[in-house]
Structure 1
Amino acid sequence: MVEVLFINCFFNFRRLMIDLLLFFLFLFLFIIYYVLVKREKEKRKKKNFYSIFFFFLIISKYIYIFINIYFFIDQEKFIFL
């Protein structure tokens, strides 16, 4: 019982680290893209901020699902949030 609890805790910790890594990756990519687009905005009309944000949000969601499948294939179940 203790071994199962330890293994479960390890997988949860690993999953938490991957979640945090993906969050910061998403944030980093979004900031870089927004800074690059901001230069273009000065030349022409403003683009929609929310469309850019949701575009990166959708991409990060697919990356998150792919990493869950890749790293947690040995587990019995997948949990897609």
Structure 2
Amino acid sequence: RRGSIKNRMLPLDFDGPPPAFGAEVLKGELRAGEVLSGRDGSAMALLRIDRIDGDLTVDGRPVRLRKPAWMGEDVLPSSQP
């Protein structure tokens, strides 16, 4: 995996107030990344590409990955829209 991109800044959507700076994004029990900024309903997070498929949570709350228009299909796992 040397020479390949392992992390990306990606937007997250959620309900309610923003998570705290540095809050962990989890995929089950595994750390998928951390929140770097946010406001009501959305945040930016630095996420591991290999852990962005499936259900993600922050502080026990579900979050939804929002795929940016500039991101190619080859970056996200096939289960992401």
Normalised by the length of structure 1, the TM-score is 0.26
Structure with larger RCO (C-alpha < 8 A, sep 6+): 2
Greater strand content:
2
Normalised by the length of structure 2, the TM-score is 0.26
Greater helix content:
1
